[in-house]
Amino acid sequence: MASVEAAAHNTVIFLGHCGPHGLGDRPEDPCGKDWGRGRLGGDYGDPDLADAIAHTQIMGKNVPLVAFGHMHHALRHRTDGERVKAIMNEDKTLYLNAASVPRIRDKNGDPQYNFSLVSLSQGKIRQAKSIWVTQNMEIQEEILYPSP
C-alpha cells in the first residue's frame, strides 16, 4: 500500500491477472466458477486484490477502473451466453474482465484481433468497450459501459 500512498495523483487504476473477490458467485459472474465436476458457482475472485482496492478507497483515493482477465468470456457450462464482462459498482468503480479467448479469431480467412478500450475523463469512466479489429482496420465494437 506504500505505492498507493506515494502515488502522485489521487486516481489509482488496478490491473491484475485475476479479478477481485466480491463480484458475484454465479457461474456467469466476472469471477464465478463455471468449470469442473460438481457444483458450479462460487466467487473465485482474489480477496487480496479486493482488500487492496478497499484500503485504497479508505485512503481517499479514487479507483475508477479495475481491469483483469483470467476468467474467459466464453462459459464452459453452457453455450447460450457469456460471462459478465463489466460491472460498475456503487463506488463508481468499473470492474472490467478483458479475457476474450481466443484473442485472435478467424472470420472467413480474415483474422480479427480483440482489445478492450476504456475512456476516462477527470477521474471518471466515460466508456468501456470490447473491440475486434481486422487487418484492414475495420472495427466491430461492443459497448460494455455507455457514456453518460
Q: What is the pLDDT of residues 1-25, one digit of tens each?
A: 899 998 989 999 999 999 999 998 8
Nearest to 49 by CA among 1, 90, 16: 16
Per the rule left: phi > 0, alpha: psi between -120 and 50, beta: everything else, 22 is left
More confident residue, 28 or 65: 65
d(CA 2, CA 7) in angstroms, rounded, equals: 9
d(CA 128, CA 116) in angstroms, rounded, equals: 7
pTM of the model: 0.88
Q: What is the pLDDT of residues 63-105, one digit of tens each?
A: 999 999 877 666 666 677 778 889 999 999 999 999 887 788 8
26-37: average pLDDT? 81
Residue 89: what pLDDT? 93
